[in-house]
Amino acid sequence: MKIYHLSHTDLDGYSCQFVSSFYMKNVKFYNSNYGKEIEDKFNIILNQIGDEKAIILITDLNLSLAQCASFENAIKDKEIKLMLLDHHQTGLECANKFKWYYLDNSRCATKITYDFFSAMFGEDEKLKEYCDVVNAVDIWLKDDAHFELGKVCMGAIAGAKEVNKVMFENEHIEYIFYMMNTFMKYIGLSHSHIRLDEDMHSIKKEFFKLLDDDTLSNLNSAYLIRLLSSNKDKFTIQYKGHKGILTHNIGSTSVIGNDFLVANPDYDFFLDITSKKTLSFRANGNLDVSQVAKELVDGGGHVNASGGFYAGFKDAYIYEPIKAQIVDLINKKSL
């Protein structure tokens, strides 16, 4: 039976999934912040499950009473088991009403998840220690021996922006798990928090390195270009007969955009849209993107590098509606 694991987007939330991946192999991971995103991701999971038997595990996310009732009703006629493991006190009312909602505010969600799985499948001392590190920082045990290492781990996960989770969900979680596996190697070392902090740049480079060494920026760019190039159909857009690629919050647009166009000469432009509604265009000499930016959003700039602001853009945590808005904008403005 497959497990669909929905969790929060911080160290504790991702670490819950790290634990479930240690004990279970048939797991699909989804991540969400609070609010409506939880409902949208839950519905995505339901669509993925279809009529199959499955388990939906939710961790480190506290739901509202309305969400709980809605989720329970949604699986009423399906062979789906729902479980929630959390530690936020604001979920107490839900925990008292719904038997599948487990709440314990004395431990972080990662520790709850570890205790749940290890009770069935056995302890693992190294993983248990890692969960203690997460617990120390997540519930802020300042006098705990693991606290300072936990702070570095928390900052590293919060800053793990190199692999966009909207565009590359599976690769993003792979990157997060790689870092967590690395964190475990520092537990018990003298001045572990300082050593991990000093090593983080090299740790990131090692993940992206394929053959030769390079700067982190160049290694990350090469990695993302491989992902974009192997998923061209999903990310391709058209503008007046010119083929382009659309990214979302890709970061380092100048480096990645230009490198992609060099690696893919059949593409004429690269467009990145951010959560702040800004558009960044890059081109390879086959299209004047300053005119494209002007036509689409009254922007402008240079022939091969331009930008603009799309006031009507509504940010999303799923790629498809992001692309749909840009395609619609192009269609309306280029009639």
pLDDT in tens, the chain (335 residues): 899 999 999 999 999 999 999 999 999 999 999 888 999 999 999 999 988 999 999 999 999 999 999 999 999 999 999 999 999 999 999 999 999 999 999 999 999 999 999 999 999 999 999 999 999 999 999 999 999 999 999 999 999 999 999 999 999 999 999 999 999 999 999 999 999 999 999 999 999 999 899 999 999 999 999 999 999 999 999 999 999 999 999 988 999 999 999 999 999 999 999 999 999 999 999 999 999 999 999 999 999 999 999 999 999 989 999 999 999 999 998 76
The confidence score (pLDDT) of residue 252 equals: 87
Beta bridge partners of 59: 7, 85
Domains of the chain: residue spans and CATH: 2-208 (3.90.1640), 232-333 (3.10.310.20)
The confidence score (pLDDT) of residue 263 equals: 95
Residue 81, judged by CB atoms within 10 A of its CB (0-12, 13-18, 19+), counts as: middle
d(Cα 44, Cα 81) in Å, to the nearest integer? 16
Tell me which DSSP letter residue 318 carries: S
Neighbours of 48 (CB within 10 A): 13
| Three-state DSSP state, 28 | strand
The confidence score (pLDDT) of residue 216 equals: 96
Q: What is the pLDDT of residues 116-152, one digit of tens each?
A: 999 999 999 999 999 999 999 999 999 999 999 999 9
Provide the Cα torsion 55, 60, 64, 68; round to 10°: 10
d(Cα 321, Cα 304) in Å, to the nearest integer? 27
Any residues with CB less than 8 A from the CB of 209 and at least 6 apart, and which?
219
- Gyration radius of the chain's alpha carbons: 22
